[in-house]
Chain A
Amino acid sequence: MSFLQPLLLIGLPLALLPLIIHLIHRHRHRTVEWAAMLFLIDARKMNKGMARLRQILILAMRVVAVAMLIFAASRPLSGGALSLAGGKAETIIILLDRSASMEQQILETGESKRLAALKKLSDLIEKTGKSSEVVLIDSATLEPLIVTSLIDLGAIPQTEATSTAADIPAMLQVAYDYLASNQSGRTDIWLASDQRESDWNPASKRWQSLRVDLAASNNVRLFLLNFPESSAANFSIQISNVQRLSNPQAFELMFDLKITRDADQVLGPVSVPVEFIVNGTRTVEEITLTDRETILLGHTIPLGNSDQRGWGRISLPADDNLLDNIAYLVFDDPAQRKTVIVSNDPSTSEAITAAAGAPVKIGADYNAVSFTEDSVAEIPWQETALLFWHAPIPSNSSIESSLLKQHVNSGRTLVLLPPEASNTSESLFGFSWNAWKEGDQSPLGIGWWRTESGLLANTRSGDPLPIGDLKLFKVRLFEGESQSLLTLETGESVISKLLFDQLSRPSGEIYAWGTLPRDGYSTLASDGVAFFVMLHRALDAGAFAASKARSRNASFGALSDAISVNPLSTSQEIQIEPDLGAGAYEVSPPRGDALLFALNRPYTEDSVKTVTSEGISSLLKGVDYRQISDELGSGSTLALEVWRAFLTAMALALIAEAILCIPPKPELEGSRILQTPVVGN
C-alpha cells in the first residue's frame, strides 16, 4: 500500500483518541455514597459477558473510524485487481514493446496502445516510484536506459513508435542481465505489450532458461501490462519481391502486394483505395477484398523511361493502426546473381552450378562458380549473393567462420550442405550437424513441407511444388533453433531456415539442407524442379542484399553499415535511429555507389494472433508475475486512489458503533415490578 500524503500517517496514533477519551471519561468520575451495593455487585457479575464485549466493540469501531479517516486523508493507492502490497521497489524496469502492432489506436483520441501504456506507467511511477530507480528497456534498441526525468515517459525518444518487431524473451533477458549486473534490490519489472504471439515467440527455447532465472530471483516481481484487444476493422499492407523489369519500350515495376484486414468477422467484399506513389507519380487503385486478405502476385506499375532507379510508397487510408497502412519499395538495376559453391564433391558442385547458372529473369546476370575447401580464400565475397557451404562447419575462431558471418551479416544467403565428415562438435550460428540417416532399401518418407512461405512455398499461381515426387535416400540430421521447411515422416527436419533472436539476428538468411543434390542422396538434381526453385529463391533473397536497391525489415542496426543516411520518405520521425522506422532511404556505404534501402515493418507484425493467458502462465511458470489486461480508452490507472474505500469503511464503522450503542428495549414487566409497591397480606 502506498500513500500520496504519507506524512499524514504520523497522525495515526490519533486513532487511539476514542480510547484515551474513554479512559479520561472514566478517570473524571464522581463519587457517590451508595446503599444498594447488593444490586451493583450482582450487576457486575452479570456484566462480564456480552455487554463487556459490546463495549469493547464500540471502542474498537471508534478507533477504526478515526484510523480510516486518517488513512483516507493520506490518499492511499492501490492497483485495484493488482496488488501493490509488498512495499516500494528500489528499481522499476519498464519493458516497452515498441513494435508496429502497438500503434493500434483510437482514431478520435490518437491514443495508441504504446501511449496508453506509457501514460499508465508514468502515472504509476509518479505516484509510487518517485524514489525508485527507473530503467527503460525498449524492444527496438534493447538498451537499458536509466530514466532521470519522471515527468512523462512519452517524451523520451526511446519510447517513440517504431516499425520494428519485438522480441519479448530478449527484452526479459536484457532486464535480467541488468538486474544481475547491477545487483538491484527489490525490483518491479513492468512489461507493456500487446501480447502478440509473434513478439512473445512462445516456441523459443530461451523461455526455459528465462523462467529458471526469473523464478530464482526472489526480489523480482513481474507485472504484465497487456493490451490484447484487436482492432474491429484495421487494414494492413505488405509488398515483397520487388523487381524492376526492363522491357524494350520502358521500365516496369513488379511486386507482390498483400492486403489484410483484422476484422474478426468477415463482413463481405470491401473495396479499398490503394495509393501508389513511385518516383513522385501518384496513382490510386481500388482493390476489393472478399476475404480476410487479398494477395496480388506480380502486380505491375509502368515506369517512365528515365525511372531506372527510385523509390515508391504504397499506402491505405487511415485506420486504427497508421503504421501498417504504408509499405515502401526501392528499385535499381538488378545485381549480378552470383552463386558460389564450396565443395570437394564434383557431383554436388556440378548440379548446383548448372541450376544456379541458368537464367530465370530477363536482364539479370546469372553466374555460378565452385571452389574446393582449400581455396576458400579465393572466393569473391563482395559479388556473391548465394553461398553453398558443403564442408565441415569451421570452428568459431577460424577465418572461414568470420567470413561466413560477414557474408550473412551483409544480407546475403548461406546454404549449409551436409559434409561427409562425421565431426559434429563444431557449431555456427547455433547450428551443428548430427548423424546421417538412411532408408532401409527404400527412400525415406517425406512428412510435410511449408507451403505458405520459404523456399518451398507454393508458386504465384498457388500450385504446390512437386515435393511429393522427391525421393530422399540419405539425410543428415542437425540441431539448432530453426523453422522447418521440409520434414521426414518421423518429424526430423530435412530443410530448415535458421532462426535467431533479436540480439544476434543477421541481415541475411541461412538455410540448412540435410541432403545433397546427387545420386545416392536424393533425387533433387534428377527431379530438378523443386531443387531449381529452391535454389533460385535462395539466390533471389541473397541478390537483394547484393543489389543497389535493398529491402530490409526495420530493426535496430538495419542501416548500421552506412556512412550517411538520407531519408527519401518516412512514415514517422525517429529521433534516435532512422533504421527503426519504415521508409525509403538513400544510404552511402563505406565503399561504392549510394544504395537505396526500403525499410518496412516485419510481416509478423500483421499477425493478430495473441498468446493466451494460459500460454503466458505456462511460459512463466514459477515466476512471481501478475497480469493486468487493459483496453484502449479504458481510463483506468494502475495505481488507484482508494480513499473512497477508506471513507466507506469509516462510515460502516460508525454505523456499527451506532447500532451497538442502541439501548436495549425496556422490559415492561420488570418496570411494573419496580414501580409498583406490593402490599402484603
Chain B
Amino acid sequence: MSDSIQRDFLDPAVLGRLMGLPLKSRHSMVGSVSGRHRSPVKGSALEFAQYRKYVPGDDTRRLDWRTWGRTDRYYIKEFEADTNLRLCFIVDTSGSMAFGEAAQTRLDYARRIAGSLAYIAAQQGDAVGLCSDSGGFDHEIPAKRGALHLGIVFDQLTKLKASGDSKLVTAIHQAAEKISQRALIVIISDLLFDPAPLREALQHLRFRKHDVALFHLLDQQEVDFDFDHPTRFVDMEGGASFLADPSLIERRYRDAVTNYFKEIDEIMNHSIIDYHRVLMNEPYEQALARFLMGRNPKTARSAR
C-alpha cells in the first residue's frame, strides 16, 4: 500500500545536489557497523589516533617496530574506528505546524527537511528513525538501516497530521529516555510555546550524549505581523480566539517576538545545540545545505 502514498516531499533534483554534502556527526557515535562516523572505540581505520604502552595480551601485530627501534620500548599504534550513526527525527505535529500557505505548510516544510536528511543518511549507511509528538511514541520508528526501513519512515512522515497542543517537550524527554545509544537527534518544530521547559528537555538529550540539531521553522508573516485591518485571530491549537486591531498592537507584537527570540537564543547557546532558525520563504534546500555544511569541519566556516 505504500506505493499509493505520495512522497512529494522528496525532490530528486534537490537530493541529487545535496548528496555531495555528507551528513556528519559532531560527536563520536557507537555504531553497529562500519561507517563514516567516528567511534569512541579505536579501530583499523586509516586515521592515526594515538600511541599507548604495550601490555601483555595485546596483539603483537599492532606493535610499532619503528618506535621500538628508536626508543627500545614497546608501543601499540592505535587508529580511529569509523562507524555508522543513528539519525532520529522528532517532528512537532501540533496544530500550529499547519500554518502557512496551502501549498506549503510548516509541516510540509518539516517533511521535506526530514525526508531529505533521512535519504542522505540512509545513502551513507546510517540508521534512520522517527518519532512525532502527536501520537506519543506509539508511532515511534526506531533507527534502522536499509531501504525498506527508510520507506517505512517516509510513509510515517507522509501520514503526519498537525493538530492539538504541542507536546514537543514531552516527546524530547521520552526520546532521551528511550534512545539508549548515542544518536544524532534532529528536532523540527516551530517552538511556539513557552520556551522555558525546552531548556531542560534539550539538556536531557545532551546528558545522554546525543548530538542534537534543531530546525526552528517560522513564517515571515509571524515575525512581521503585517496586517492592515482588524482581524479575528483563531488559535490553530484550539485555544481562544480574539479580535485585534493590528495597528494598535503591532509594535507590542514585535516587542514580544524580539523577547522570545532572545530567550530562545539564550537557551540554544546554553544547551550547545545545532540551532537553525529557518524562515519558510527560504528554500529548504538552502536551509539543508547550510545545515550539512555547518556540520562538516572543512566547510563549516563558509556555511556560517
B64 within 8 A of A: no
Can you name the residue of chain A whose Cβ is closest to the Cβ of B290? Answer: A679
Across-interface contacts of B41 in A (CB, < 8 A): none
Across-interface contacts of B290 in A (CB, < 8 A): 679
A673 within 8 A of B: yes
Across-interface contacts of A663 in B (CB, < 8 A): 251
A593 within 8 A of B: no
Stretch from A42-50, A89-97, A156-164 at the B interface? A42-50
Residues from 17 to 37 in A contacting B, C-beta threshold 8 Å: 25-26, 28-37
A29 near B268: Cβ-Cβ < 8 Å:
no
A26-B245, A33-B236 are contacts. A677–B274 as well, Cβ < 8 Å? no
A458 to chain B, nearest CB (A): 90
Across-interface contacts of B236 in A (CB, < 8 A): 33-35, 37
B231 near A30: Cβ-Cβ < 8 Å:
yes
Complex CA gap A680/B294 in Å reads: 10
A38 near B193: Cβ-Cβ < 8 Å:
yes
B276 within 8 A of A: yes
A462 within 8 A of B: no
Across-interface contacts of A673 in B (CB, < 8 A): 258, 261-262
A29-B243, A33-B99, A44-B244 are contacts. A680–B252 as well, Cβ < 8 Å? no
A21 to chain B, nearest CB (A): 12
Complex CA gap A39/B265 in Å reads: 16
A153 to chain B, nearest CB (A): 59
B278 within 8 A of A: yes
A677-B279, A680-B275, A680-B276 are contacts. A35–B244 as well, Cβ < 8 Å? no
B44 to chain A, nearest CB (A): 32
B242 within 8 A of A: yes
Residues from 103 to 122 in B contacting A, C-beta threshold 8 Å: 106
B230 within 8 A of A: yes
B243 near A26: Cβ-Cβ < 8 Å:
yes
B257 within 8 A of A: yes
Q: Mark A638-681, 1 if CB is under 8 A from B, else 0.
A: 00000000000000000000000001100100100111011111
B260 within 8 A of A: yes
Across-interface contacts of A39 in B (CB, < 8 A): 222, 225, 253, 256-257, 260
A39-B256, A40-B244 are contacts. A681–B272 as well, Cβ < 8 Å? yes
Across-interface contacts of A609 in B (CB, < 8 A): none
A51 within 8 A of B: yes
A32 to chain B, nearest CB (A): 5
A47 near B252: Cβ-Cβ < 8 Å:
yes
A-B pairs under 8 A by CB, number: 145
Across-interface contacts of A674 in B (CB, < 8 A): 223-224, 254, 257-258, 261
A32 near B193: Cβ-Cβ < 8 Å:
no
Across-interface contacts of A37 in B (CB, < 8 A): 192, 233, 235-237, 239
Kindly name the residue among B99, B219, B232, B265 whose own CB sees the greatest number of chain A CB atoms within 10 A: B232
B289 within 8 A of A: no
Q: Mark B210-236, 1 if CB is under 8 A from A, else 0.
A: 000010000100111101011111111
B229 near A25: Cβ-Cβ < 8 Å:
yes
B222 near A29: Cβ-Cβ < 8 Å:
no
Across-interface contacts of B230 in A (CB, < 8 A): 25-26, 28-29
Complex CA gap A457/B232 in Å reads: 100
A36 near B249: Cβ-Cβ < 8 Å:
no
Residues from 121 to 161 in B contacting A, C-beta threshold 8 Å: none
B249 near A670: Cβ-Cβ < 8 Å:
no
B275 near A678: Cβ-Cβ < 8 Å:
yes
A621 within 8 A of B: no
A55 within 8 A of B: yes
A40 near B248: Cβ-Cβ < 8 Å:
no
A52 within 8 A of B: yes
Choice from B99, B214, B234, B278 contacting A680 with Cβ under 8 Å = B214
A681 near B273: Cβ-Cβ < 8 Å:
yes
A62 to chain B, nearest CB (A): 14
Kindly name the residue among A30, A39, A44 whose own CB sees the greatest number of chain B CB atoms within 10 A: A39
Across-interface contacts of A664 in B (CB, < 8 A): 251
A679 to chain B, nearest CB (A): 6
Complex CA gap A673/B263 in Å reads: 12
Between A and B, 16 residue pairs with Cβ closer than 8 Å are: A29-B230, A31-B232, A31-B234, A34-B234, A35-B192, A35-B236, A36-B257, A37-B192, A42-B259, A46-B252, A664-B251, A670-B258, A674-B254, A678-B265, A678-B268, A679-B276
Q: Which 6 A-B pairs have the closest CB atoms?
A: A680-B275, A35-B96, A42-B256, A35-B99, A43-B252, A677-B277
Chain A interface residues toward B at CB < 8 A: 25-26, 28-40, 42-44, 46-47, 51-52, 55, 663-664, 667, 670, 673-675, 677-681
Extra contacts besides A30-B232, A47-B252, A680-B275 (9): CB < 8 Å: A31-B232, A32-B233, A35-B95, A35-B97, A40-B253, A43-B253, A51-B252, A52-B248, A679-B276
